[in-house]
Amino acid sequence: MVSQTPLRTLILGADGFIGSHLVEKILEATDWQVVAFDVRDVNLGRLGSPRLTFKKGDIFTEDEWLEEHVAACDVVLPLAGVARPAYYLSNPIRTFELDFEQNLKVVRMCAAHGKRVIFPSTSEVYGLSNDEILDEDTSRLVVGPIGKMRWIYSCGKQMMDRIITAYGQERGLRYTIFRPFNWIGPRLDSWEDARNRTARSVTQIASDAVERGEVTLVAGGEQRRSFTWIGDGVDALMTLLSDAGERSGGQIFNVGNPDNNASIREFAETVVDVMKTMPKFAAAAERVRFVSIPAEEYYRNGYDDMKNRVPSIEKMKRLGWAPKVGLRDAVRMTLEAV
SS3 106: helix
The larger pLDDT score, comparing residue 293 to residue 98, is at 98
Choose among 131, 29, 57, 90: nearest CA to 301.
Answer: 90
Note the pLDDT of residue 2. 44
Strand partners, 215: 290
**What average pLDDT does this structure show over 166-183?**
97
Has residue 301 got a pLDDT over 90?
no
Sign of CA pseudo-dihedral 85, 86, 92, 97: negative
SS3 116: strand
**What average pLDDT does this structure show over 238-262?**
93
* C-alpha count within 13 angstroms, C-beta hemisphere, residue 174: 16
| Confidence category of residue 68, pLDDT binned at 50, 70, 90 | very high
Using CA atoms, how far residue 107 sits from 38, 76, 244, in Å, is 17, 9, 20
Note the pLDDT of residue 308. 95
Using CA atoms, how far residue 183 sits from 103, 228, 260, in Å, is 21, 4, 11
d(CA 88, CA 71): 31
Using CA atoms, how far residue 125 sits from 151, 155, 218, 302, 305, in Å, is 9, 7, 21, 17, 12
What's the one-letter identity of residue 63?
Answer: D
Note the pLDDT of residue 244. 67
Cβ atoms of 115 and 174 closer than 8 Å = yes
d(CA 171, CA 163): 11
| Confidence category of residue 294, pLDDT binned at 50, 70, 90 | confident
d(CA 65, CA 61): 9
Instruction: Please calculate the CA angle 87-59-148 and round it to the nearest 5 degrees.
Output: 25
Helices and strands, number each (H, E), in the chain: 14, 13
pLDDT digits (tens, 9 = 90+) for 82-115: 877 777 888 999 999 999 999 999 999 999 999 9
Q: Domain 81-336: what homologous superfamily?
A: NAD(P)-binding Rossmann-like Domain (3.40.50.720)
- Strands 261-263 and 224-226, by their bridges, are antiparallel
- Kind and range of the H or E element at 183? strand 183-184
Cβ atoms of 68 and 109 closer than 8 Å = no
d(CA 220, CA 294): 8
SS3 53: strand
pLDDT digits (tens, 9 = 90+) for 13-38: 999 999 999 999 999 999 999 999 99
d(CA 231, CA 271): 18
d(CA 283, CA 280): 8
Note the pLDDT of residue 338. 82
Has residue 3 got a pLDDT over 60?
no
pLDDT digits (tens, 9 = 90+) for 185-201: 999 988 888 888 778 88
pLDDT digits (tens, 9 = 90+) for 197-237: 778 889 999 999 999 999 989 888 999 999 999 999 999 99
Using CA atoms, how far residue 71 sits from 49, 55, 108, 242, in Å, is 22, 16, 12, 20
What's the one-letter identity of residue 326?
Answer: G
d(CA 12, CA 232): 20
The larger pLDDT score, comparing residue 147 to residue 23, is at 23
Task: For the chain, give the mean pLDDT.
Answer: 93
| Confidence category of residue 1, pLDDT binned at 50, 70, 90 | very low
Percent of the chain with pLDDT over 90: 81
Note the pLDDT of residue 5. 57
Has residue 302 got a pLDDT over 80?
no
Cβ atoms of 231 and 185 closer than 8 Å = yes
**What average pLDDT does this structure show over 243-261?**
92
Note the pLDDT of residue 18. 97
Has residue 299 got a pLDDT over 60?
yes
Note the pLDDT of residue 75. 97
Residues 6+ apart with CB under 8 A from 74: 7, 8, 9, 115, 116
Has residue 162 got a pLDDT over 60?
yes
Cβ atoms of 285 and 243 closer than 8 Å = no
